[in-house]
Amino acid sequence: MELDQAGYRTWEGQPRSPWWGCLSIVRVGLSLIFRRWVFWILIGLGLLNFLFHFAFIYLKATLSVQNENIARFLDNYKVTGTGQAYADFMFAQAGICALLLAFAGSTLIGSDYRQGGMVFYLSRGIGKWHYIVGKLLTIAAVVTIVTTLPALILFIEYGTLSNSFQYFLDNPRVLCGILGYGTVLAVVQSLLIFAIAAWVPRTVPLVMTWLGLFALLKGLADAMRAIDGNRYWLLLGFWDDMNRLGRWCFGSLDPNRIPSAGYCLAVLAALCVVSLVLIVRRVRAVEVVS
Amino acid sequence: MSSAPTSPAALVELTQLSHFYGKFQALKNVSLTVAPGAIGLIGQNGAGKSTLLKILLGLLNPSSGRGTVLGFDLVRQRHELRGRIGFMPEAESLIPGMRGVDLVALAGELSGMPRRQALRRAHEVLSYLELDEVRYRQCDGYSVGMKQRLKLAAALVHDPQLLLLDEPTAGLDPQGRDAMLRLLHAIASRHGKSLILSTHLLGDIDRVCEQVIIVDRGSILGCGRIGELRQHSLGRYRLRWRGDDSGFAQALTESGLTIQTTPRAGEVVVEVPADWKTVRFFEIAARHSAILSDVVPEEEDLPRLYHRLIGTDSRLASTPATGYPKS
Amino acid sequence: MKTTLSACGHLFWLTIRRQLCSRQTLACVALTGLCALIVLAWSRQADPTAKKLAEQVLVPTFVAFLMPIFAICYGASGIGGEREDQTLIYLLIVPITRPLVYFTKALAGLALVAGWTGGSLFLLCRLAGVPGLKLFAMFLPAALLGGLAYASLFLLVGAVFRHGTIISLVYWFFLEVLFGNLPGIVKRVSVAFYVRCMIYDSGGDLQLGPLGRVAREMFLPVSGMAATATLSAAVVALLALGVLLFETREYRDAC
């Protein structure tokens, strides 16, 4: 190494707050996800669903001018611009996102435990909470990009292609619903996948646990309800709880239907707290510093 | 980079610092003061080196006692402290899938550098460490030597005042090791960085460090400048002479001295009592018609010093496994 | 010859031990436990019949979820796990030919998958009571053959691709879950289709079949015999292909 050829220069700048480091973690995490072709299979599936809706809204706006029957025919495909339609769209996107997170959890979180990334992060000028917030924001960003952002674009497209901007004024609840459902999905999924990936960092067990949590708990909830018809057992299905809460945000949840949005919120909040406790217990660099 | 709140005379100052893992005491009332410079941290496996490093890095709270590094309190100002420390871990702490330059820039950003400056500085440091040609390659594909330099680059990128290096030459071939040691020496001597080098290879410390901390079973057995610690070992002389070979050596033994080694004819290493006067060598030599050409107080090398302090067999010190290969 | 057999035996048991003592096994236990809870809850219903058990529990949870999961766990990680852990080099330097190495690993993986599939199916059927025991014989051949087909496929994927486990999971989602439920004959590329054909064929007395009229009409099943033959041929072909590819492939990530 010829040191004389290249000099070492000092850095005289002023260090920024460690919270800026969270944004760097988000940027790097997203680039790791979007750089892998395996993830693009799932992202592509979400994109396909989005483009389908996008094209239908455009066709509806264009063709309904010529023939109202065509508009009614296109309404069969549930691209109606109502809260229910957006909730359905986001529900489908959330399913794809859950699959994406099942794989991405190992890359974003699991590899930090298996390959020393935790030491890399926590031996810098950031603390445990900066790392946790950064990683949670990364997962939340993935969820938002796959679910909330496309829904917002469709909402804007629908309003823009209607005859006036009255659509936006008439449907503020839809906007709130998109943001609300998006927030529920982002918060719950990011905390849950972080907690699972931190404790089960390898890909296969992580995917098994993640899918088992949603698929099998729903099965268990249905089976328990079938015993005596007690619908509160349905709260065990976390995926449906998120869906119910999301639909409540859109205003399309029947208020008399059990379990109500309040119960769903309580269950999901408890789940988030448990996840956070698990995350905090696991994020300890000293365990992995050799 | 901004300086510490006070301008500390001591790089590290620990007072009665202890740490427990459950009931096991990993560090026992450690008190030490270390001046800035290149410091070696040596000790056997399980001696407490890693615990000490973790505490110095602010990753681990001491169970009792207190301390400062660069003038920052180890517990209350740990984030500020870590922003001024560069840590090069022994484990492969890289993020798979990232390019070398991005990884180093990320390390800079996490240490408080703005994005652009971190990126520019990453390029500079990678050039300095001669990784400029592979900077755009994914770090997973780097060789062991490259990975070591990349870790060093990530530790250096934010221009830290102190570098904590855990086994920086592990896994390197002789050339790579030599290059790494020259680099560390240059960083410490030319650029005024302090570094704490934790290693099992005493030769590495001998080449790079002027101070040493010797840890054994959670206690500090020795801490200070290597030269000063060596002074404790007075009591041995290397004698070379011409003339009567066996008679002079015989006379030395009869005078109550212990001959430690006889490297070759006309040369011995003798251990002398505390009240021994050097002039007596010449008197004995004169009596046996021997001409003394060298009377050199034998300086303890680092392996011997280390083994003397931890109380193990000093003969082990000369084995290449623990010391720097003797040429 | 004796030495080779002994070495293969060691490799077989080592693989079994390594695979069993892993977090994957813990996850398998947890998921089987969850399925057992579902079956227990289901069996407390007012009118539990064998047909309901098959349609509401065993097909959606066991056949569609647990069985492929077991296969991914122990199939994809056979060679793929060695590559991820960077221990493949130790396999390549053992004094056994590569085809034998692959075959031995495959045998160990298949044995584990068969054990888990058969064992968990028995547990679930046992917990379900009389209806479950009636279904056990109907489901067992299909479940075992399906599990083995999945396992040999995922073993091959692990041997060919660097991120074999992820690709196996992606394959499962897309080809098995999505394509497997599409109307028409496109689903015939999926293992799940033949497994269901075998089950529906053997469960003819109970009139087992896809739920819903449209799904039933669009299912276009093959006969149980044809499904059995297809799955058996798939196991043999996939194993042979795996042996061939493992023998000729250069693993740059081995060391």
* Kind of pairing between the strands at B267-271 and B258-264: antiparallel
Ranges of H-type helices in chain C:
2-20, 23-43, 50-52, 67-71, 77-84, 88-92, 98-128, 130-160, 164-171, 191-202, 213-218, 224-248
DSSP A269: H
Inter-chain contacts counted by CB atoms under 8 A, chains A and B: 140
Most confident of A45-54, A73-82, B251-260: A45-54
d(CA A183, CA A160): 24
How far apart (Å, rounded) are the C-alpha atoms in residues B57 and B160?
Answer: 12
User: How many domains does chain A contain in total?
Assistant: 1
**Cβ <8 Å between C41 and A216:** no
CB of C125 closer than 8 Å to CB of C143: no
Instruction: Check pLDDT > 60 for residue B243.
Output: yes
Across B17-40, average pLDDT: 89
Question: Which are the contacts of A165, defined by CB distance < 8 A and separation ≥ 6?
Answer: A159
Measure Cα distances from C60 to B113, C68, C82, C224 in Å.
52, 12, 32, 20
Which chain B residue's Cα is nearest to A32? B97
Alpha-helix runs per DSSP H in B129-171:
144-156
Question: Residues with Cβ < 8 Å from B157, sequence gap 6 or more?
Answer: B86, B104, B105, B107, B108, B111, B113, B118, B121, B122, B125
The domain segmentation of chain C, as residue ranges, is: 2-248
Q: Output the six-digit token pair for B122.
A: 């990453």
Residue B213 pairs in a beta bridge with B41, B223
Is pLDDT of A171 > 60? Answer: yes
Write out pLDDT tens, residues B100-113: 999 999 999 999 89
Backbone angles phi, psi at B37, to 5 degrees: 140, -165
Instruction: Compute the nearest-CA separation of C221 from chain A (Å).
Output: 26
The answer to whether C18 touches C78, Cβ cutoff 8 Å, is no
Does any CB of chain C come closer than 8 Å to the CB of residue A51? no
Rounded to an integer, the average pLDDT of B208-223 is: 87
C42 contacts on A by Cβ (under 8 Å) = 223, 226
Tokens matching residue A207: 């995917």
Rg for chain A, CA atoms, rounded: 22
> Is a pLDDT exceeding 70 seen at residue B198?
yes
What is the per-residue pLDDT for B89?
Answer: 87
- Burial bucket for residue B78 (CB in 10 Å: 0-12, 13-18, 19+): buried
Q: Do strands B194-198 and B38-43 pair parallel, antiparallel, or not at all (unpaired)? A: parallel
pLDDT above 90: residue A152: yes
Quick one: CA dihedral B139, B144, B145, B147, positive or negative?
Answer: positive
Q: Are C57 and A205 an interchain contact pair (Cβ–Cβ within 8 Å)?
A: no
Q: Are residues C167 and A216, on separate chains, in Cβ contact within 8 Å?
A: no
pLDDT at C170: 81
> Chain A residues with CB inside 8 Å of B83's CB?
15, 18, 124-125
* Contact criterion met (CB below 8 Å) for B111 and A15: yes
B188 CA: distance to closest CA in chain A (Å): 12
Query: In this predicted model, which residue has the larger pLDDT, B234 or A33?
Result: A33
Closest CA to B139 of B151, B127, B128: B151
Contact indicator for C63, C207 with CB cutoff of 8 Å:
no
Question: What does the alpha-carbon distance between residue C157 and residue C149 come to, in Å, rounded to a whole number?
Answer: 12
Q: Is the dihedral of CA C36, C42, C44, C49 positive or negative?
A: negative
Residue with the bigger pLDDT between A33 and A287: it is A33
Residue of chain B minimizing CA distance to A109: B95
Chain B residue closest to A131 (CA)? B110
What tokens appear for B201 in the block? 């290879």
Q: Is the pLDDT of residue A5 over 60?
A: no
pTM (2 d.p.): 0.82
CB contact at 8 A, C70 and C28 = yes
Contact B1 A120 (CB under 8 A): no
Does the pLDDT value for residue A151 go beyond 90?
Answer: yes
Q: Is the pLDDT of residue B321 over 60?
A: no
Assess contact for A250 and B20: CB atoms under 8 A. no
pLDDT exceeds cutoff 50 at A281: yes
Contact yes or no for A16 and B114 at CB 8 A: yes
Nearest CA in chain C to A229: C45
pLDDT above 70: residue A205: yes
Residues of A in contact with C37 (CB under 8 A): 220
Residues of B in contact with A290 (CB under 8 A): 50, 89-91, 166
**Complex ipTM value:** 0.85
Whole-number pLDDT of residue C206: 76
> How crowded is residue B296: how many other Cβ atoms within 10 Å of its Cβ?
11
CA distance B8 to B76: 17
Question: Element (H or E) spanning A222, and its range?
Answer: helix A203-228
Q: Where are the beta strands (DSSP E) in B226-322?
A: 236-242, 258-264, 267-271, 291-297
pLDDT in tens, C129-177: 888 888 898 899 999 999 999 999 999 998 888 778 878 888 887 778 7
User: Using an 8 Å Cβ cutoff, are B150 and B100 in contact?
Assistant: yes
Percent of chain B with pLDDT over 90: 18
Kindly write down the DSSP assignment for every residue of B60-125, as one continuous string: S--SEEEEEETTEETTTTHHHHHHTEEEE-SS----TT-BHHHHHHHHHHHTT--HHHHHHHHHHH
Residue A6: what pLDDT? 52
Q: Which CATH architecture has domain B234-297?
A: 2-Layer Sandwich (3.30)
Closest by alpha carbon to A36, among A203, A153, A220? Answer: A203
Residue of C nearest to A39 (CA): C170
Report the residue of chain B nearest A6, measured CA to CA: B128
Is residue A227 less than 8 Å (CB to CB) from chain B? no
Q: What is residue B138's DSSP assignment?
A: B
**How do the pLDDT tens digits run along chain C, 255 residues long?**
678 888 889 999 999 998 888 888 888 999 999 999 999 988 887 778 888 888 888 888 898 889 999 998 898 888 888 887 778 888 888 888 899 999 999 999 999 999 999 999 999 999 988 888 888 988 999 999 999 999 999 999 988 887 788 788 888 877 787 777 777 777 788 898 899 899 988 877 777 777 777 667 777 788 889 999 999 999 999 999 999 999 888 877 655
The yes-or-no verdict on residue B327 having pLDDT over 60 is: no
Nearest to A288 by CA among B60, B11, B197: B60
Q: Among B27, B35, B85, B36, which Cα is nearest to B58's?
A: B85
Task: Determine, yes or no, domain membership for A16.
Answer: no
> Structure tokens of A153?
């674009």
Enumerate the domain spans of chain B.
Answer: 12-84+160-230, 234-297
- Looking at the complex, report in whole angstroms how far the Cα of residue A253 sits from the nearest Cα belonging to chain C: 26
Mean local confidence (pLDDT), A111-136: 89
CATH topology of domain B12-84+160-230: Rossmann fold (3.40.50)
Inter-chain touch B1–A10, beta carbons under 8 Å: yes
- Cα separation, C85 vs C77, whole angstroms: 10
User: What does pLDDT average to over chain B?
Assistant: 82
Tell whether the model's pLDDT for residue A287 goes beyond 70.
no
Mutate which: C22, C29, C31, vs A, most A CBs within 10 A: C31
Contacts of A13 in chain B (CB under 8 A): 1, 113-114, 117
* Predicted local distance difference test score (pLDDT) of residue A93: 92
Compute the average pLDDT of residues B294-320.
Answer: 64
Angle (CA) C115-C35-C156 rounded to 5° is 45
- pLDDT score of B99: 92
Subunits that touch chain C (at least 3 Cβ pairs < 8 angstroms)? A
The amino acid sitting at A230 is N
A181 pLDDT tier (thresholds 50, 70, 90): very high
Residue A177 lies in a domain: yes
Residue B244 per-residue DSSP state: -
> What's the pLDDT score for residue C244?
93
Dist CA B110 CA A118 (whole Å): 13
Phi, psi of B56 (to 5 degrees): -65, -30
- Domain limits at A119? 37-284
Contact A28 B128 (CB under 8 A): no
Residues of chain A above pLDDT 70, percent: 93
pLDDT at B82: 85
Per the model's pLDDT, the better-predicted residue between A155 and A73 turns out to be A155
End-to-end CA distance of chain B: 41
Give residue A67's pLDDT band: very low, low, confident or very high (50, 70, 90): confident
Query: Which residues of chain A make contact with B187, given a CB cutoff of 8 A?
Result: 8
